[in-house]
Amino acid sequence: MFLNRKSKLKIHREQENPVFKSSKKKNNFVFLAQASLKKQTHYFKQALLPQLKFFNSLLPRSRAPLLLCSSAPLLLFSPAQEFLSARSLQPPLVLAQYAGKSATDFLNEGLQAITSGKVQDGIVAFRKATELDPNLAAAHYNLGLALRQTGQLQPAANAFYKATQADPEFALAFANLGGALLEGNNLRQANDYLQRALEIDPQLGVAHYNLGLLREQERKWEQAIASFKKAIQYSQNAPEPAYHLGLCYIQVGKLDKAKDAFNQALKINPRYPEAYYNLGTISFNQGKYQEALEAFRKSAQANSNYPNAYYGAGLAFIQLQNYRQAAQVLQYARALYDAQGNPQWARSAENLLQRLPK
């Protein structure tokens, strides 16, 4: 249900500082979405998907890669987002002065620091900007992005919240606040803020995407599918909504639609290892082992350090009775699982190796 203006104010009064709930589930990874602040650009963001059940327990579960803003340079395992300048918000703000500098000066210093890769310096500058002008929504928002980039989730959520207080019509701040709360496992409040973002801007792709992730975590597959379809509609240059749409279709047994969704993601990003991997899992469980092997190979080509691709290829080689090749890829999968701190699947790869015909 969408929030009306009274509902929005009630949320603001009741929750001064949005907080995270500790998850009781193991491996409870969720996506955080961050976005550009230009309404005409496509919005996107970054994080980790809750692990989903696949049909065959032999195959490891896929984790999605960290999502990167489509309109910004890609940074490995670091959210790449466009930061907001003071001129991006209307009406113009009256800014305080401090030691010859205004809040806007510090905001611009923060933006320059972020551009130079000096995130901590950016955080310091954005904080000074918010101290000088608590109503400068751009400073709070950019502070939230920078804090999130350094893994400071609770302070990031607080900063996004203050951005919404400074500008109650700031849809992207609500969307990012909802994403931060989603990552903190506070699903109820995440839903409230995401609904508020969509009330302000029904075409905000990142809000639909985050809402889809929330429904996915709740295992409300049909609602998640509906949200991801809208995210695809409003964020046509981003592959992640299509990828998650495919995951949801797997959960409801619509495998042809799942394959279409993964292929749609790959049209946008041909180097999407998890999309290839999931195409491989579908083919493997349909007994199409050669087709599965080809998908696993493409997954490994897209990311040579993705162990699931080699593990899946090992299973396909076993089914094709090519045990020498199976041993090679399973050994590599085992080494990658060990290096990446995943002993459970390293043991699974070792068990398969032990069972191969000599």
pLDDT in tens, 228-282: 999 999 999 999 999 999 999 999 999 999 999 999 999 999 999 999 999 999 9
> Does position 13 have pLDDT exceeding 90, yes or no?
no
pLDDT in tens, 134-175: 999 999 999 999 999 999 999 999 999 999 999 999 999 999
Specify whether the backbone of 124 is left (phi greater than 0), alpha (psi in -120 to 50) or beta.
alpha
pLDDT in tens, 257-269: 999 999 999 999 9
Residue 353 CA to residue 308 CA, distance in Å, equals 15
pTM for this one?
0.74
Residue 166 CA to residue 40 CA, distance in Å, equals 22
pLDDT of the residue at 62? 56
> Does position 308 have pLDDT exceeding 50, yes or no?
yes
Structure tokens at 205: 């792709």
Residue 342 CA to residue 327 CA, distance in Å, equals 19
Backbone angles phi, psi at 326, to 5 degrees: -60, -45
Largest Cα–Cα distance of the chain, in whole Å? 77
